Every structure is written in structure tokens, then in C-alpha cells.
């Protein structure tokens, strides 16, 4: 049975470890996540973006998640809406069987973000569903943040304290310098850990790291060696992920690493045998590579062995 996000993240918050929140867009990704959780004995959050919901249909997203949760009944798992853009989107997810939602209104002014988040919290909590909100902005690679600009883009700890107290939100995603995708940093990786610690101290709730893919060297290499192009790519190093967990991060959003690991194997099979067209011959090694990346991440974040 799917459990609420709170059930998984309150424990992680108290015991000081990070739980991977892995995105899926098909059965193969979902299966790889569960196989990894089973192997590493780790709780999981499985999440779908609005794009994934559009691609699969919301009934398929929830249906597959429920079947897998039942098949792996010993694994604590929450189904989370990633980057919900409106009250209606969150409401639809909740009514369809999601057990956790994110309302992402961080591009709105503080007061509007607070108002919209509070509205989602009221509805979600009446149904036993947990809510994540975001403060600050994820930085893109083009943004060369100067010291002055930093306070305008990254989370403000005073605001975080007020936001959490007033909205009663369950989890908060603080912008501390990550961005989505494969191109996270222009120069050396840099995150604002001091700001993170301040936000944790002021809010004392589970915090969420978006844009947390690491692009480990062997994953990059698996893609490059099949003729793939990842020029300029840079992820969040494992040591930074661990520092972030120490600083109070408990939910670690990971998608790009899974996509790259999976597609590298699809490319490899296509290169190795141009006559191959049995889908299973592509997807079996792809799932296997993804499973490996995920179970390794569970050990890095400290969620391995927690069930």
C-alpha cells in the first residue's frame, strides 16, 4: 500500500538520512526503482511530473504505482506529484491516489506562494496527503550568480521560517544552488550549505534537494562510449549530497542520472546489434543499469538498510 510522504520523511528527518525521490515515465523505470529498493532495503519516494502524467495518463501512473507497492509490500513507498503547477493539478493527483504532492509556486511573490501553498495544504491534509513547497529559484547554467544576486535567487531563511509556520507545509525545497538536468555548474560545483543549515534550524522539517543528480563518471562514460554527447555536463558530487543530508536534506530528487544510465544501454544494444528489434533486449540491460545507479545512491544517502 502507498503511504504518505510524511510517513517516510518524518523518520528520515528524525534519524538524519536522505531518501531518494526517483522520477518515472514508464514501467521499466518504476520497476528498476523497486528492484533497487528491494536490494538496498531502502524506503522510496516515486514521483511523476505533470509531463509524465500527460504521457502515461494519471490512471496508469497511479495504477502501476499501486500494483508495484503491493508486489513489494515490505517497501515503504509514497507516490508524489513533482512540481505541481496549480491547486487543480494537486487536487486531481490527490483525488486519483497520490499520497504526496508538491505545489511549486516559487516563481510567484512570497505572499502568493504562501496563499497557494496554504490552500493545497488544507485540501491535502484533509485527505491524509503530505505537501512539499519551494522557496527561491533553481539556477540554470546560464545564471552566473554574483554575491548581490544570491539573496534574490536563493532561499531566504527568515522567509522560510515564516512560510513554514504560516502554511503548515510538510516539506520545503530550499534553493541553495542546484538546477535540473545534466548541466548544473559552469565551474566548480558550489552549493550554499550555510544557508541550508540556517533553513533547517529555523524550520525543523524535512527539506528537499531538487536537481540532485550526480552524473557519476561511470554513468557519463557509459553514455559517451556509445557515441552519446554530454559536453559540459556536471552533476552534484556524492560528497556534496552527503554534506546536504548532514545539513538537513531528507528528500533527494533524482531523474537525470536514471535517464542517462538507461539510455546508454539502449544505445549500446542498438550499436552492438543493428538487427535487434526486440524491445526486451534493450530494456532489460537498461533497467539493470538503472537499478545499479539507484541502489548505489541509496547507500550514498544513508537510506539503505533502513527497512
Residues in touch with ligand TD4 (CB under 6 A): 23, 49, 51-52, 82-83, 180-181, 210-213, 253-256
Is 229 a catalytic site residue?
no
**Tally of CB atoms within 10 A around 226:** 17
Q: Least distance (Å) from Ca ion to the CB of residue 272?
A: 40
Give the nearer residue to Zn ion in terms of CB position, either 178 or 265. 178
Q: What's the Cα-to-Cα distance from 221 to each of 16, 239, 254, 290, 293, rounded to whole Å?
A: 32, 20, 19, 14, 13
Q: Which does 255 bind (CB under 5 to 8 A by kind): ligand TD4, Ca ion, Zn ion, none?
A: ligand TD4
**Does residue 210 bind Zn ion (CB under 5 A)?**
yes
Cβ 214 to ligand TD4 shortest distance, Å: 8
Q: How far is the CB of 29 from ligand TD4 (least distance, A)?
A: 12
Give the x/- contact pattern for Ca ion in 107-146, rule: CB under 5 A: ---------------------------x------------
Among 38, 82, 170, 273, the one annotated catalytic: 82
By rule CB under 5 A, what count of residues binds Ca ion? 3
- Nearer residue to ligand TD4 within complex by CB, 247 or 269: 247
Residue whose CB is less far from Zn ion, 179 or 303: 179
CB 19 within 8 A of CB 301: yes
Residue 132 or 296 having the CB closest to Zn ion? 132
Least separation in angstroms between CB 277 and Zn ion:
35
- 106 contacts Ca ion (rule: CB under 5 A): yes
Residue 6 or 253: which CB sits closer to Zn ion? 253
CB of 218 to Zn ion, least distance (A): 24
Q: How far apart are CA 160 and CA 228, in angstroms?
A: 41
Question: Which residue lies nearest ligand TD4, judged by its C-beta?
Answer: 51
Site residues (vs Zn ion, CB under 5 A): 210, 253
Site residues (vs Ca ion, CB under 5 A): 104, 106, 134
* Active site members: 82
Amino acid at each position: 500500500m502507498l503511504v504518505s510522504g510524511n510517513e517516510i520523511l518524518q523518520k528520515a528527518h528524525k534519524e538524519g538520512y536522505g531518501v531518494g525521490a526517483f522520477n518515472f515515465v514508464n514501467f521499466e523505470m518504476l520497476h528498476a526503482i523497486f528492484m533497487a529498493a528491494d536490494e538496498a532495503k531502502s524506503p522510496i519516494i516515486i514521483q511523476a511530473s505533470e509531463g509524465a502524467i500527460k504521457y502515461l495518463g494519471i490512471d496508469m501512473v497511479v495504477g502501476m504505482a499501486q500494483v508495484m507497492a503491493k508486489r513489494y509490500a515490505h517497501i515503504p513507498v509514497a507516490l508524489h506529484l513533482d512540481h505541481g503547477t496549480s491547486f487543480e493539478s494537486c487536487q486531481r493527483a490527490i483525488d486519483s491516489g497520490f499520497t504526496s504532492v508538491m505545489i511549486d509556486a516559487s516563481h510567484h511573490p512570497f505572499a502568493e506562494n504562501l496563499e497557494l501553498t496554504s490552500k493545497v495544504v488544507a485540501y491535502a491534509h484533509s485527505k491524509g496527503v503530505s505537501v512539499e513547497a519551494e522557496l527561491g529559484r533553481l539556477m540554470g547554467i546560464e545564471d552566473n550568480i554574483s554575491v548581490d544576486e544570491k539573496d534574490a535567487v536563493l532561499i531566504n531563511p527568515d522567509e522560510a521560517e515564516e512560510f513554514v509556520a504560516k502554511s503548515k507545509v510538510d516539506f520545503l525545497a530550499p534553493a541553495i544552488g542546484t538546477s535540473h538536468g545534466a548541466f548544473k555548474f559552469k565551474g566548480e560545483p558550489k552549493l550554499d550549505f550555510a544557508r541550508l543549515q540556517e533553513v533547517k534550524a529555523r524550520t525543523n522539517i524535512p527539506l528537499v534537494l531538487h536537481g540532485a543528480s550526480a552524473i557519476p563518471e561511470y554513468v557519463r562514460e557509459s553514455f559517451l562510449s556509445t557515441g552519446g554527447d554530454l559536453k559540459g555536463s556536471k552533476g552534484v558530487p556524492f560528497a556534496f549530497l552527503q554534506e546536504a543530508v548532514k545539513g538537513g536534506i531528507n528528500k533527494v530528487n533524482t531523474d537525470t542520472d536514471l535517464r542517462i544510465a538507461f539510455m546508454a544501454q539502449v544505445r549500446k544494444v542498438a550499436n552492438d546489434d543493428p538487427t535487434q528489434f526486440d524491445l526486451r533486449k534493450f530494456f532489460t540491460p537498461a533497467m539493470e543499469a538503472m537499478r545499479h545507479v539507484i541502489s548505489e545512491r541509496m547507500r550514498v544517502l544513508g537510506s539503505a538498510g533502513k527497512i
